[in-house]
A = this chain, B = another copy of it.
């Protein structure tokens, strides 16, 4: 009995060599993602990139990383995605926790690495830190981050749903395009972070924490609503029975 509980919680993960490969995969994927975010926040010739370019880059970045790492760790590269998979029973709680830690470490390393490659004059004190648009209240920021993340998590679960036979085409691209979408409408509001690890890395290095909680609470709410709505209502095999089990 005890050993089966240990298995359900996931402590037995530590015994598998592949588990450490997966942690490395999450660290690498999140590092690449945050590196790209940092490099895109440099302001060459005194100008930031357009929302069009940033949206395209963010979406294709997720598509590319998922294409590369989906077969290893599943390429969550986002703590709220790992939590959603744990809630839906796809991975163990221990795995979700360890993924989350790997993701935060990768994100922090990425900022250090990108700063080393970027001329200091292009980096302000807020370099790559997610910030609310000053016109927004924190509650509005939470709401917009929740909507953006809802799109992401809902698309992830709809795309990896094995009970569907109607989908063809690239899964990584479909997931990446949901991120592209959230950036088009959400970037001016909150930066469309949708990812606490991505927000944490720059905040640690820059030591800027204003409204940082918004970037944890908003994505968590959006992701939770998405996974519950998809798994228990929309999915082809959804049922109230699932909730009881």
The 8 A CB mask of A71-113 against B (1 = contact, 0 = none) is 1100000000000000000000000000000000000000000
Asked if B49 and A49 make an inter-chain contact with CB atoms under 8 angstroms apart, the answer reads no
Bound CA–CA A181/B155 (angstroms): 21
Bound CA–CA A27/B37 (angstroms): 34
Interface size range on A against B: 35 or more
Q: Which residue of B lies closest to A24 (CB)?
A: B233
Instruction: Pick out which of these stretches binds chain B: A4-12, A169-177, A202-210.
Output: A169-177
A197 at the interface (CB under 8 A from B): no
Asked if A188 and B117 make an inter-chain contact with CB atoms under 8 angstroms apart, the answer reads no
- The dominant DSSP class at the A interface is helix
Bound CA–CA A210/B170 (angstroms): 41
Asked if B57 and A177 make an inter-chain contact with CB atoms under 8 angstroms apart, the answer reads no
CB within 8 Å for A170 and B172 given contacts A60-B184, A67-B155: no
Bound CA–CA A196/B69 (angstroms): 27
**A175-190, CB < 8 A from B:** 177-178, 180-181, 184-186, 188-189
Q: Which residue of B lies closest to A50 (CB)?
A: B52
Asked if A185 and B51 make an inter-chain contact with CB atoms under 8 angstroms apart, the answer reads no
Asked if B147 and A184 make an inter-chain contact with CB atoms under 8 angstroms apart, the answer reads no
The 8 A CB mask of A42-54 against B (1 = contact, 0 = none) is 1010000111110
Cβ-defined partner of A36 (8 Å) among B24, B61, B181: B181
